Structures are given as structure tokens and as C-alpha cells.
Amino acid sequence: MYVGDKYDKIVELARRRGFFWPSYEVYGGVAGLYDLGPLGTLLKNRIVDKWREWFVRRHQDLVVEVETPIITPHKVLEASGHVKHFTDPIVECLKCGRRFRADQLVEERLNIKAEGMGVDEIGRIISEEGVKCPVCGGDLSNVRLFSLLFTTTIGPYSHDIGYLRPESAQGMFTSFKRVYEAFRERLPIGIAQIGKVARNEISPRQGMVRLREFTIMEVEFFFDPENPSCEVLGRCYGKLRLLTADARIKGVDKPLELEVMEALENGVIKTPWTAYWMCVARNFISDLGIPENQMYFEEKLPNEKAHYSAQTFDQLVRVSRWGWIEVSGHAYRTDYDLSMHMRYSGQDFRVFKRYEEPLTVKTQKVVINKALIGRIFKERSSNVINAISSLDVNTLRTLLTSDEEYVRVEEYLIPKNAITIQEVTEKISGKHIIPHVVEPSFGAERILFVVLDNSYSEEGDRVVLRLPRSLAPIQVAVYPLVNDEALEVRAKQIYEELVNKGLYVVYDDSGSIGRRYARADEVGVPIAVTVDYQTLEDSTVTLRDRDSRTQIRVRRDEVAIKILSFLANSLNIT
RNA sequence: GCGGCGGUCGUCUAGCCUGGUUAGGACGCCGGCCUCCCAAGCCGGAAAUCCCGGGUUCGAAUCCCGGCCGCCGCACCA
């Protein structure tokens, strides 16, 4: 289908025709940063729209979309664990240049606990104990911290540290209660967000596949851990291609194909909602033109998982240059994030779960006669009351059954008649739970590259970008067959009409007709309208299909409707 | 961050070894002519900080050093 290195050709095409190129090229460029050009921006927008269609619009009874800031205060990422888990103490061998986790090195060499030690302390231990490079024996550099978080300051005070978010998820967790209330306290609920994130990768390569700044599209889907079933699982059809962690450990590298229900019953996927969103992810990627045999889900091994995840699957797609690359991650984050934010913020992120039938529970309640205590103990009364309250009912009951008139609680002698134990029946209408979260998360630019890689083809000496019609940045091309005023006028009218239908259209009258078809094919324009001399006689034009290169002649007044149905895949030109 | 290789019009490249060119070509692009359907032809045009900085030299795209960027391998990739 193509010759030579496809990746190089795609990159060359991307620069030349305006899909993407390295940012700040005029200053030498910065690794991991890319500009999207005019066509790249259109294509990315179509991918983003399609994601929104699959994950939000089609689930509008379950999922809502929000937008939260990129700049994130220190406290938020401290709570989420990113400050800790994104920052490693690192030493470098001054001789061979290899880098090591300083704390791990100290633990291995000296068999002491180094985790959580400060940089200075680890550095002191390394120099005092004479720890050397474990590979070449060279001297080690000073210990420094390396964080994948981009740091900034908020406002004029340099101690107000902020970060560029490394994922959009924390914005959804911190606003969870608001969204939950605004959406009338429904569970399950998904909160979606599309936006930029930044990760200060040590050494980004692989072009659009590993960026320091990219667009993430993710859903935090909150559900009741006591009722994790997915009521829309019936919407899933077809098999998932899965490679489990167990299989990977055994050295298996071929995914198995399982029905969703099978995968859940076998325990391969731990939660129904993860399985459900994996199905949607498969459908979404298929919808971008990626064949199903070119994708599968791979379960992460325990040491590969993020700190917050109980189970993670990555969705992999095959590309020409690098083989299988990740286009989405599906993490079961449990209640990790909400719990951490509860602890750090002091706010209550639990939701009230109403029982179907209120429970009637008989309990025993300690009633303290505070008036009596007050009269006796005066200013010490609250200490006394606290002391009594800290005892459980059974202990108190035992104390009260003694023959004495007083009971001793801590250093206080309290008259028995100040304390009574009552049987009460309480009605409990529900309880508080912390929702669990499953998270499907996609990188938009990476998917953009995957789409280009998948669509790129060569026909003889010409390039045809076989983009799905619904993704094409430019949807229609309009041409006069030759340079002739009469033809140009007609063609321009058609151009105007199609623009007014909401389409992205290109008009081109430069060069031979073959050259213009080739120009359009190269950027994936799916259909072309050509005005020729016959148009002047009988008001018909030709429509040409990019992929089959065949043409049909249609009436001038049917052009727009035919093109719209062609773009909607309900008309084919063969 | 380490090692290897590379960086010349928009793109692909010649030139570099052996220092002195108006830095050449092709494709693409723009304008004109021609052309009744798949990168035809003819004429003209615009287009290169030779990646950046420093050094050697009368003179550097070319030699040397440092940096940046890219690819590959290692390390890293929540």
C-alpha cells in the first residue's frame, strides 16, 4: 500500500499541508510541544466532537460535561498524591550518567528504610556510607528531586505554589459535590471533561504520541460500590479483545476475545462500569476507522499501575512506527480520590444513600443528666461529660450495676442517677457512602496521529488520506473543469451553497483537474464536485468519490442533498 | 540524562571528506498560456538566519568546541 517509512511521510505531509509541526520552530523548537495547523485543528475538533458524541451526548442521562482550570493549587495535588508520586529523589552517576531513585538505592545498599526521607538526609547517607553507582561503581551526584509536574506560582506570593494539572480528573473530584447536587443527586453519574494537561516528561519523543502538553478527554464515573451493577450493559454488543495481567505474566501476548458478560463473570474485569466504558471506547475508536483487529485492551501489571488505581486497562492501537501504543486508559480509582480530598479539605464528599425501606433499629442510648452534673462539677462539667461519652454503652452498664451510689469515670465520682441508659427505637432512612470511580481517559493528539497513520495510503505516486467521511477536515472540493469564466461562475455558486449548508468546502481552479483531485485526496477530502461544459447545457455536475475515484452525474439542484447524504454514509459512489 | 546518527528554500535533497559556488536541482507554491476529468506541457516568479552560539582562518554550509532539535538504543513514561 505504501513504500518507505510511513511515519516520515505522515510527518512530512503534516508539516506541508498544515496538520501539525513542532512548536516554536523558529527558535529551535521544544521537545514534546507541537502546533496544530489549520487542518490539524479541524481534524482534532472532529475527533473531540466524536468523543463527546459517544461519551456525553449519547449518555446525557448519565454523564455531564464540565470545564475546570488547568492551574491547580498545591493542596489539591498534594491530596491526590501527585506531588508525592510525581516526585522522585534522583541521583546520577557522574561517570556513566545512569540515573537512579536515590531512596531505593539507599534501601537496597544499606537495608534501611529511606522512603519519605528528605533529599538532604538521603544525600548525607549516600556520601557518609560511600554509596556508589551500582552499575559502574562511579561517584554519585547530589540528590535532587525530579517532578513531572510543571510548577508555577499563583499571584504575587512565591509561596503560593500551583501546578499545571497532569490530568483533568482532580477538577471533577473537587467539584463532585456541586455537580452531584446540580444534577439532582443522582448516582451513578459521570462527569466528563475535555481540556489541556501538562506533564514535564523527562525525554519526550515519538512526536505527537508523547507530548508535554496535550488534550485529555476523560470521564470520572461515580457509582455506588454496594451496587456496582451497570443497568445499561445491555447496550454493549460484540466481544472485547483483552490481554490480562495474569496472561502477560505467563508470557502470553495474544489477547483473548470475550463477551462483556463473560469478562465480568470470570472476574477478568473487576467492575461492570469499567467493562461498559471499555465497550464504548472500542466503539469510539472503531468509529474513527480503526479496525477492531488493530486494537485491544491490556491490563496493567501491579507495578505499572498508577498509585490511585485498583485495576487499569489500556486500550492499545497498532501504528506503523511503534507498534502498539496506548490511546486510552481505564482505571478503577475506587474511592481513593474522594477519600483523599475528604481528608485534606475536611469537606464531606459522601453521598446519602436512601434505603428502599427505612430500617427500624433498637439501640441503647446513654442519657446524661447535664443539669445535675453541672451543679456538682461546675467548670469541670464538660470534662466529665466527655469522659462519660467516651465510654461505650456496655462498659457504662457494667459500672451502673455496681452497688455503689457513685460510679468512677477517670478521676470523677459521678452519682449514678446522673446517668441512665435508655432503649430507643430509631428509624434509619439511609446511610452515607463514598462513591467509587471508574475513569476512561483519552489523549486527543495521540488519537489524531493514530487516525492519520491509519488513513494514510498511496495509490501509485499519489497520497490518499482515507479518512472516515465524518472526520475529514475539508468535506467537499468544488472545481471548474478548466479555466473558463462560465464554469467558474457556476462552481462558485455551488461553493457558496455548500458553505451555507454548514460544510467546510474548498474551491480550487489552479492547475489541471487531475492535479486538483490529487491535492484534495492528499488531505482526505472525501468528495468533489466538478462543473464542466455539460453543466452549461443540462445543469448537471459530476460528483467524484475520493476512494473509488468513480464519478456520477447529478442534477445541479440535488448537489447539496446528495453530498450531505454521502457525508452521512447513506450514499455511496461506486 | 547517556551513547550513536542526523539538521541546507514550504518539502526532498546536491554541495561538506579535500574551506573560496551568484549555495545547484527536483517537487510543491504563485502568475500567465494551454487543457472537456485524475499530479500533462510551455513561459515567468517568489522562496534558503546553510539549526543556534563560539572558535580556527584572509575567508566557514564545509574544520573544531558548546548548545538546541529530531530519529534509534539505554534510562524514564503516575
pLDDT in tens, A30-40: 889 999 999 99
- Block residue for cell numbers 511521510: A9
d(CA A37, CA A34): 9
The nucleotide whose C1' lies nearest the CA of A32 is B69
Residues A138 and A156 in one domain: no
Average pLDDT of A40-67? 96
Q: CA dist A423 to A13, A372, A420, A427, Å?
A: 80, 21, 10, 13
The integer distance in angstroms from the CA atom of A5 to the C1' atom of B33 is 39
The nucleotide whose C1' lies nearest the CA of A551 is B37
Phi-psi domain of A41 (left: phi exceeds 0; alpha: psi -120 through 50; beta: other): alpha
The nucleotide whose C1' lies nearest the CA of A209 is B77
Nearest to A203 by CA among A31, A404, A64: A31
Quote the number of domains for chain A: 4
Q: Is A417 helix (H, G, I), strand (E, B) or coil?
A: helix
Q: Is A401 helix (H, G, I), strand (E, B) or coil?
A: coil
Residue nearest to nucleotide B78 (CA to C1'): A306
How many CB atoms are closer than 10 A to CB A526? 26
Assign residue A219 the CATH number of its domain.
3.30.930.10
Residue A348 lies in a domain: no
Q: What is the CA radius of gyration of chain A?
A: 32
- Is residue A338 within 8 A of residue A349, CB to CB? The reply is yes
Residues A250 and A332 in one domain: yes
Rounded to 5 degrees, what are φ and ψ at A60? -65, -15
Of A430, A458, A482, the last residue of a domain is: A430
Cell (9 digits) for A160: 503560593
The integer distance in angstroms from the CA atom of A19 to the C1' atom of B46 is 24
The integer distance in angstroms from the CA atom of A465 to the C1' atom of B1 is 38
Residue nearest to nucleotide B52 (CA to C1'): A28
The integer distance in angstroms from the CA atom of A203 to the C1' atom of B77 is 9
Phi-psi domain of A185 (left: phi exceeds 0; alpha: psi -120 through 50; beta: other): left
Q: Is A522 helix (H, G, I), strand (E, B) or coil?
A: helix
The integer distance in angstroms from the CA atom of A521 to the C1' atom of B45 is 27
pLDDT in tens, A398-454: 877 877 788 887 888 888 877 777 777 777 788 899 999 999 999 999 999 999 999
Residue A282 lies in a domain: yes
Residues A54 and A195 in one domain: yes
**The model scores a pTM over 0.90:** no
d(CA A222, CA A337): 11
| Bases of chain B with protein Cβ within 7 A | 1-3, 7, 10-12, 28-31, 33-41, 49, 51-52, 67-72, 74-78
Q: Judge whether residue A358 has pLDDT over 70.
A: yes
The nucleotide whose C1' lies nearest the CA of A169 is B78
Q: What ipTM was predicted for this assembly?
A: 0.84
User: Which DSSP symbol is given to A140?
Assistant: B
- Block residue for cell numbers 459522601: A350
Q: How far is CA A84 from the centre of its chain?
A: 20
pLDDT band at A102 (very low <50, low <70, confident <90, very high): confident
Residues A264 and A402 in one domain: no
Residue A469 lies in a domain: no
Residues A314 and A190 in one domain: yes
Least confidently predicted of A180-194, A195-209, A534-548: A195-209
pLDDT in tens, A268-282: 999 999 999 999 999
Assign residue A513 the CATH number of its domain.
3.40.50.800
pLDDT in tens, A258-307: 999 999 999 999 999 999 999 999 999 999 999 999 999 999 988 778 88
What are the start-end ranges of the H helices in A359-457?
370-377, 381-389, 393-400, 444-455
Residue A404 CB contacts under 8 Å (≥ 6 apart), including other chains: A416
Residues A75 and A161 in one domain: yes
Average pLDDT of A250-257? 90
Range of A417's domain?
357-430
The nucleotide whose C1' lies nearest the CA of A510 is B30
**When comparing pLDDT for A136 and A543, which is higher?**
A543
The burial class, CB within 10 Å (0-12 / 13-18 / 19+), for A282 is buried
The integer distance in angstroms from the CA atom of A264 to the C1' atom of B36 is 63
Of A147, A173, A196, the last residue of a domain is: A147
d(CA A427, CA A360): 5
- Is residue A290 within 8 A of residue A454, CB to CB? The reply is yes
Residues A298 and A315 in one domain: yes
Q: How far is CA A485 from the centre of its chain?
A: 53
The integer distance in angstroms from the CA atom of A27 to the C1' atom of B58 is 32
The integer distance in angstroms from the CA atom of A125 to the C1' atom of B61 is 52
d(CA A368, CA A415): 11
- Is residue A241 within 8 A of residue A198, CB to CB? The reply is no
